[in-house]
Structure 1
Amino acid sequence: MLPKIHRLTKEEDFKRVINKGRSFFIKEFGIKILPTGSAQPTRIGIIVPKKITRTIVRRNRVKRQVRNIFLGLIDNLASGFDLIFFARADFLKLEFVEMNQKISDVLKKMRLLKLL
């Protein structure tokens, strides 16, 4: 579970990031990011739409996997951003190790992750 200070929870925060944030999408997932202008820790929101899997069990499993990946990366994330992760249908086909690698690669390209 992500610590509360790292969670994006309010609907208005989600809408603000979706409307004003910059995007980076690949075949398996997308990330929207918006600088907060403060030194607050980066907050993360996760969206897994019904369109990619109808069962709540599968959607929650994907959310748990993504949260676990971000939990491992949280110490190396740059501060001062709100980030939303959007899963796509091809994301369900990936193994956990592949998910972790792809998310890390995208965050490095966006210069949000310190090089390990």
Structure 2
Amino acid sequence: MANEKCETHENHDHEHGEHCGHTKIKHGDHTDYLHDGHMHHKHGDHYDEHRLEITEKNPDQCQPVKHDDAHVHGPGCGHEAVPHGDHTDYIVNGRLHRPHGDHCDDHGPVETEENPKN
């Protein structure tokens, strides 16, 4: 895993876990939580910033995928943002989409689980 160094998310007073309301995402051998464009992982008394690595399963290459031409991915678009390599992708039907010019690239599948708030 490429997240050996600890990049702490500062001033994070929310406790992620079952029924916290944030989407769970499988990341290697553990689960992270998607939160406002961040991917958080509990590490002792704080949360680390994680991101999906560029891999064969989740590449960073131009692989155009068809979707509604009127839809533009970005903050508030209705799709969960996921840090991936050096950019942000958006989850659409279990796959990562990256805006790229006049289309989106398919950056592969992700495993997520809704985590409704109690």
Q: Relative contact order, CA 8 A, sep 6+: which one is greater?
A: 1
Q: What TM-score results when the alignment is normalised by the length of structure 1?
A: 0.30
Q: Greater share of strand residues, 1 or 2? A: 2
